[in-house]
Amino acid sequence: MKLNYKHTLYACFCGYICQAIVSNLPPLLFVIFQAQLGVSLEKITLLITVGFCIQILVDFLAAKIVDIFGYRISVTIANLCCLAGLLGMSILPMIISPFIGLLIGVTLNSVGGGFIEVVVNPIAEALPGDKKSGVMGILHSFYCWGYVAVVLLSTLFFTLVGEQHWYLLAILWCIVPLFNLFLFLKVPMKTLVEKDVQIPSRKLFSIKTFWMLFVLMVCAGAAEQAMSKWSSFFAEIGLGTSKTLGDLLGPCSFAFLMGITRLIYGKKGAKYDLRKLIAISGGMCIFSYLLVSLSPIPAISLVGCALTGLSIAILWPATISLSSKLYPNGGNAMFGYLALGGDIGCAVGPSLVGFVSNIIIKFNYTDVEHLFTGVDITQSALKVGLFTAIVFPIVILLSTRILKNRITIVSSSLK
């Protein structure tokens, strides 16, 4: 069978499914890690933070690595790391210290996920065709569909096989990066921008508009992952649901609405002002976080979790599309630094929630229960932690206001 650029796009879709697996499978296992492996909430927070810090380092280095070795070798490294990370997470905790074993697995997953983010976007952007923002929206929707698949199939696995066999689940998910590895070895690829015409990193760093886009990526990642990483734990522990119901009503509904919104954006978003769409999303995100943290009714808090997926859906792909539109010669360096900004946010967002929640629990600030209407201190602490994440969509709104004039200036200079 002769593979063409359509298959290259399919490989990119599968790449984002791989990223969804390595990013979202561990959070579904947090409670299991606590119960079966004795990993504390503090160490779980550390796993999240270390994972994203590794991904940040990969983002920083990946653009140079891609320029040296090219797309195919780089994406092969990405899939191999995802494969090794899932295997390590499932096997190593049984052989060595559980926390160290999980840390090694998470580190390898983070290397793989970081490379995928940096490499897959320019591969998709370089494909023939003129509807780039639409492709980017559909591409990023596959992260959401991968997220939904992880939740649904993992929930089915726990129901049929049992939570005590969670390590087998991680091994089964290795099938996806293994398939993607062989697919990317065969599909054709084009170079987005030749190295001699790319905007140099030093020049990118001197552009004020680029730094505003970087801030948007930071806040987009933070607003998304603050809810994504804690929604299952929040539903299960904070709201007292079962694991199955918590996963379905928390991260699954979050990812489903995020995917639907990105799909619609991919089909229809090209005709709208990207800056305005980002601003509207920021406003909706503020409302969603307020609903989660301040509602006295658990069901409404869960609705807020789901609505957060809808509100943050286009922030990441729209910011990338806006960057490509403003700086078409940005090349691998621009995509790498934007991914760096997004992953900085992905580290800061959930870590902030976990840090604040830990402080409330550690010092037993029972007064917060009056404002955040928790059944107990754990639920109240999680609500306080999620409430602090509202700072990220607020910065998004402020940034889009500042960007308004900057985009006009850049657009005029391109004509």
DSSP 390: T
**Residues 234, 360 contacting (CB under 8 angstroms):** no
Per-residue tokens: 135: 């492709």
Q: Nearest Cα to 403, choosing from 133, 223, 207?
A: 207
User: Looking at residue 218, what is its pLDDT?
Assistant: 92
pLDDT per residue over 72-107, tens digit each? 888 898 899 999 999 988 888 888 888 888 888 888
**Spans of all domains in the chain:** 5-414
Closest CA to 310 of 325, 293, 291, 296: 291
Q: Which CATH number fits domain 5-414: 2.60.40.420, 3.40.50.10490, 1.10.20.140, 1.20.1250.20?
A: 1.20.1250.20
Confidence at residue 40, expressed as pLDDT on a 0 to 100 scale: 73
Q: Which residues in the chain land under pLDDT 50?
A: 409-415
Q: What's the pLDDT score for residue 287?
A: 92
Half-sphere exposure of 357 (CA within 13 A, CB side): 29
Q: Which pTM does this prediction carry?
A: 0.77
C-alpha distance from residue 149 to each of 223, 383, 395 (Å): 22, 27, 32
Please report the pLDDT score of residue 415 as a whole number: 43
pLDDT tens digits along 305-327: 888 888 888 888 888 888 877 87
d(CA 171, CA 157): 12
